Structure 1
Amino acid sequence: MNRRLFAHVALAVATLAAGGSALAQNKTVMGVAIPAATHGWAGGVVYWANRTKGELEKQYPGMQIIVKTAGSAAEQANQVQDLQTVNKINTLVILPFESAPLTQPVAQVKKKGVFVTVVDRGLTDASAQDAYVAGDNPGFGKVAAEYMAKALGGNGNIVILRGIPTVIDNQRVDAFNAVMKNHPGIKVLDAKHGNWNRDDAFKVMQDYLTRFPKIDAVWASDDDMAVGVQKAIEQAKRSDVRMVIGGAGSKDYIKKVMDGDKIVTADVTYSPSMIADAMKLTAASRAKGSAMPPTTIIPSVLITKDNASKYYFPDSPF
Structure 2
Amino acid sequence: MKTSIKVALACTTAMLGSAASAQTMTIGITQNNVGVDSYQTTYERAFIAAAEANPNVEAVVLDAGGDVARQIAQMEDLIQQEVDAIIIWPTNGEAVIPAVRKAHDADIPVIVTNSNIAEQGFDFVASFSGPDNITQGARSAEIMCDKFVDMGIQDEARVVQISGQPGYTTAIERQEGFEDRLPEVCPNVTLVETQPGDWNREKSQQVMEAFLVKYDDIDGVYAGDDNMGVGALNAAKAAGREGIIFVGATNFAVGYDAMAAGDYWGSIYQSPVDDAEAALQTAIDTLNGEELPFLNYFDTPKITQDNMEEFTKPVF
Q: TM-score, normalised by structure 1?
A: 0.78
* 1:68-83 alignment runs, 5 A limit: 68-71=62-65, 72-83=67-78
Shift of 1:309: 6.4
What's the counterpart of residue 27 of structure 2?
30
| Mapping of residues 282-293 of structure 1, within 5 Å | 282-287=283-288, 289-293=289-293
CA distance in 1, matches of 2:187, 2:49: 51
Q: Does 1:49 align with 2:44?
A: yes
Q: Is the 8 A contact 2:162 2:224 kept in 1?
A: yes
AA matched with 1:172: R
Would you say 1:117 and 2:119 are equivalent positions? no
1:129 aligns with 2:109: no
- Partner of 2:238 in structure 1? 235
| Residues 248-267 of structure 1 mapped to structure 2, 5 A cutoff | 248-257=250-259, 260-267=260-267
SS in 1 for 2:62: strand
Tell me, in whole angstroms, the C-alpha distance in 2 between the residues paired with 1:145 and 1:181: 9
Please state if 1:99 is matched with 2:99: no
CA contact (8 A) 2:271 2:314 kept: no
1:91 is aligned with what amino acid?
A
Considering Cα pairs closer than 8 Å and 6+ residues apart, tell me whether 1 or 2 has the greater RCO.
1
Moved more, 177-186 or 214-223: 177-186
DSSP-derived class of the 1:31 partner: strand
Per the TM alignment, residue 38 of structure 1 is displaced from its structure 2 partner at its CA by: 3.8
| Secondary structure class of the residue paired with 1:152 | helix
Partner of 1:65: helix, strand, or coil? Answer: strand
- For the 8 Å contact 1:158–1:219, the answer to whether it is kept is no
Paired residues for 1:136-285 under 5 Å: 136-153=132-149, 154-156=152-154, 157-163=157-163, 164-166=165-167, 168-182=170-184, 186-188=188-190, 190-196=192-198, 197-241=200-244, 243-257=245-259, 260-273=260-273, 274-285=275-286
Counterpart of 2:11 in structure 1 is none
Q: CA deviation at 1:34?
A: 0.8
Secondary structure, counterpart of 2:110 in structure 1: strand
Please report how far the alpha carbon of residue 253 of structure 1 lies from its aligned counterpart in structure 2 after TM superposition. Answer: 0.9
C-alpha root-mean-square deviation of aligned residues, in Å? 2.9
Offset from partner CA, 1:180-208 (integer Å, 9 cap, x none): 33455853251221333334433332343
Letter aligned with residue 22 of structure 1:
A
Cα 1:93–1:19 shift into 2, 3 Å: farther
Q: CA deviation at 1:143?
A: 0.9
Distance 1:48 1:184 in 2: 35
Query: Counterpart of 2:112 in 1: which secondary structure?
Result: strand
Residues 23-64 of structure 1: CA deviation (Å, up to 9, x unaligned):
22x321111111232411xx5234323323323432x31221
3-state SS, counterpart of residue 258 of structure 2: helix
Distance in 1 separating the partners of 2:166 and 2:48: 33
Q: Check the 8 A contact 1:249/1:268 in 2, yes or no.
A: yes
2:7 corresponding residue in structure 1: none
Give 1:8's aligned residue. Answer: none
| Preserved CA contact (<8 Å) 2:162 2:228 | no
Which residue in the other structure is 2:6 paired with? none
Deviates more, 1:247-256 or 1:173-182: 173-182
What secondary structure sits across from 1:240 in the alignment? Answer: coil
Distance verdict in 2 for CA 1:301–1:91, change over 3 Å: same
Q: What are the superposed Cα offsets for residues 218-276 of structure 1, whole Å, 9 maximum, x if unpaired?
A: 222322321221122112112232x211222212112333xx22221321135544233
Q: 2 CA distance for matches of 1:198 and 1:192?
A: 16
Q: Is the 8 A contact 1:161 1:220 kept in 2?
A: yes
Structure 1 CA distance for aligned equivalents of residues 132 and 76 of structure 2: 30
Q: Residue 111 of structure 2 contacts residue 282 of structure 2 at CA under 8 Å; is this kept in 1?
A: no
Offset at 1:140?
A: 1.6
Q: TM-score, normalised to structure 2's length?
A: 0.79
Aligned to 2:55, what secondary structure does the other structure show?
coil
Fraction of identical pairs, as percent: 19
State the alpha-carbon separation in 2 of the partners of residues 19 and 279 from structure 1. 23
* Residues paired across the two proteins, number: 289
* Distance change (3 Å), C-alpha of 1:83 and 1:169: closer
1:63 aligns with 2:61: no
Residue 10 of structure 2: aligned partner? none
Unaligned runs of 5+ in 2: 1-15
Counterpart amino acid of residue 52 in structure 2: E
Helix, strand or coil for the counterpart of 1:76?
helix
Amino acid at match of 2:100: V
Counterpart Cα distance in 2 of 1:169 and 1:190: 18
